């Protein structure tokens, strides 16, 4: 190689570096690689690359978040219906002495209308029935205490002296909800005619052991499960639904976070610490873009998008087994409207945010590499020269 041809080598290496033929140190794909991916056939990549604009924001805004108001049953519950395992206290009063349930009175102290017949604790059996002397076996499951009173009274007509019956619920076993997880007193919570809501039941269980923004309410009803932030239950009346008999509530903690890589001041996993977090806020949590390295024209967010959102956006990516579709969202912060878009684009749990290096940053890295290369070559030649 002649002396005049030596500058060709650095120029050739620089061209190769800028075209990706030389692997420079970086935390992820270059802007050029991502843009080439966006132009590639989706069938080849398996995911979509989408530039965020007003129509994309509108489509994402149509995707309703998980809500408890879509559960199968949301009406005020009927908690006065008796069920298996309930314990009843039944008393029978008669209009005069000498009846079936009247106590034996002395001739000097006969009192009319006193001395109820008490039957102790009557447990509703597995068939939903109880037994009352002289009234027989009575099916009470599904009936209210008032209906059972009338039924027992009808059975005793002609046997007791104008019987008056009182049926009270001594122990509630069927109209309860199970509360567990991060509460102070997990267990069964009896439901009353006051119609308890989720916040009421949590309070009856001693309250949450975690902050509302870091705690989820997981509710299972009729085989359907929903999970929302506890903070939404407290702040949104529509999410604080009535608790139904046999509901299962679990308070679980799962600190929501997103991950940041690339040319930001701070990389790693970052907690939401709030109910709603926008892309602009997420970048601020990461310390902002690095002035020396970041390419503001391409801020990329990697997400497994929900099926409903994928349908709204008509994403052609390949669905995962759980129905989600992988997508890469791109926001251009080199444009003034990019910051408005970043303020409206909402982050989700487990999002991955990546800021690639600018082209000049790669050139700077290559310059350092080239200096090291040429310095090494110079040192080798110097050693050869002085060893002669």
CATH (domain of 242): 3.10.560.10
Considering the domain boundaries, does residue 378 fall inside one?
no
Q: Specify the length of the chain in residues.
A: 388
Q: What is the rounded CA–CA span in Å between residue 288 and residue 2? A: 48
260 lies in the same domain as 296? yes
Considering the domain boundaries, does residue 111 fall inside one?
yes
Q: Which residues face 301 on adjacent strands?
A: 329, 353
169 in Cβ contact with 88 (< 8 Å): yes
201 lies in the same domain as 72? yes
217 lies in the same domain as 72? yes
246 lies in the same domain as 308? no
Considering the domain boundaries, does residue 287 fall inside one?
yes
187 lies in the same domain as 280? no
Domain finish residue from 227, 253, 279: 253
167 lies in the same domain as 181? no
**pLDDT the model gives residue 23:** 52
339 lies in the same domain as 276? yes
For residue 363, CA distances in Å to 134, 222, 372, 386 come to: 99, 61, 14, 34
Digitized pLDDT (tens) for each residue of the chain, 388 residues in all: 444 444 554 555 445 544 555 555 555 566 666 666 654 444 455 788 889 999 999 999 888 777 888 887 888 898 889 999 999 999 888 887 777 776 655 443 333 333 456 777 899 999 999 999 889 999 999 999 999 999 999 999 988 888 889 999 998 999 999 999 999 999 999 999 899 999 999 999 999 998 888 889 999 998 888 889 899 999 999 899 999 999 999 999 877 889 999 989 998 999 888 778 999 999 999 999 988 888 888 899 999 988 888 888 888 777 888 788 899 999 999 988 999 999 999 998 889 999 998 865 454 444 544 455 555 555 555 555 556 6
Considering the domain boundaries, does residue 370 fall inside one?
no
**pLDDT the model gives residue 366:** 45
Domain finish residue from 171, 186, 201: 171
341 lies in the same domain as 262? yes
**pLDDT the model gives residue 36:** 60
Domain finish residue from 238, 253, 268: 253
- Number of domains, the chain: 3
Residue 252 CA neighbour count, 13 Å, CB half: 10
269 lies in the same domain as 324? yes
**pLDDT the model gives residue 369:** 47
Considering the domain boundaries, does residue 11 fall inside one?
no
Considering the domain boundaries, does residue 381 fall inside one?
no
Domain encompassing residue 123: 87-171
Q: What is the rounded CA–CA span in Å between residue 267 and residue 107? A: 94
Considering the domain boundaries, does residue 10 fall inside one?
no
266 lies in the same domain as 353? yes
């Amino acid at each position: 190689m002649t002396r005049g041809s030596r500058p060709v080598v650095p120029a050739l290496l620089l061209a190769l570096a800028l075209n990706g033929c030389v692997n420079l140190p970086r935390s992820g794909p270059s802007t050029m690689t991502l843009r080439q991916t966006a132009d590639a056939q989706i069938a080849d990549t398996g995911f979509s690359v989408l530039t965020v604009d007003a129509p994309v924001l509108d489509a994402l805004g149509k995707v309703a978040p998980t809500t408890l108001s879509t559960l199968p049953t949301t009406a005020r519950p009927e908690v006065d219906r008796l069920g298996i395992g309930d314990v009843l206290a039944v008393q029978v009063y008669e209009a005069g002495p000498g009846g079936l349930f009247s106590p034996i009175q002395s001739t000097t102290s006969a009192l009319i209308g006193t001395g109820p017949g008490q039957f102790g604790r009557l447990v509703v059996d597995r068939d939903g029935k109880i037994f009352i002397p002289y009234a027989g076996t009575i099916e009470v499951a599904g009936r209210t205490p008032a209906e059972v009173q009338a039924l027992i009274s009808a059975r005793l007509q002609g046997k007791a002296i104008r019987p008056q019956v009182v049926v009270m619920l001594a122990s509630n076993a069927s109209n309860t909800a199970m509360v567990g997880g991060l509460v102070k007193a997990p267990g069964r919570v009896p439901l009353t005619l006051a119609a308890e809501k989720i916040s009421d039941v949590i309070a009856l269980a001693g309250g949450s052991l975690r902050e509302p923004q870091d705690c989820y309410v997981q509710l299972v009803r009729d085989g359907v499960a929903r999970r929302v932030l506890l903070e939404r239950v407290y702040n949104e009346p529509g999410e604080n639904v009535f608790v139904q008999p046999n509901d299962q509530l679990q308070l679980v903690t799962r600190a929501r976070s997103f991950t940041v890589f690339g040319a930001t001041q701070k990389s790693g996993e970052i907690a939401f610490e709030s109910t709603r977090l926008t892309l602009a806020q997420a970048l601020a949590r990461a310390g902002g873009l690095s002035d020396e390295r970041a390419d503001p024209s391409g801020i990329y967010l990697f997400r497994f998008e929900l099926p409903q959102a994928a349908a709204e956006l008509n994403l052609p990516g390949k669905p995962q087994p759980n129905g989600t579709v992988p997508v890469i969202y791109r926001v251009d912060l080199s444009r003034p409207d990019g910051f408005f878009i970043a303020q409206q684009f909402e982050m989700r749990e487990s999002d991955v945010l990546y800021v690639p290096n600018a082209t000049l940053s790669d050139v700077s890295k290559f310059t350092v590499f080239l200096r090291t290369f040429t310095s090494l070559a110079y040192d080798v030649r110097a050693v050869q020269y002085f060893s002669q």
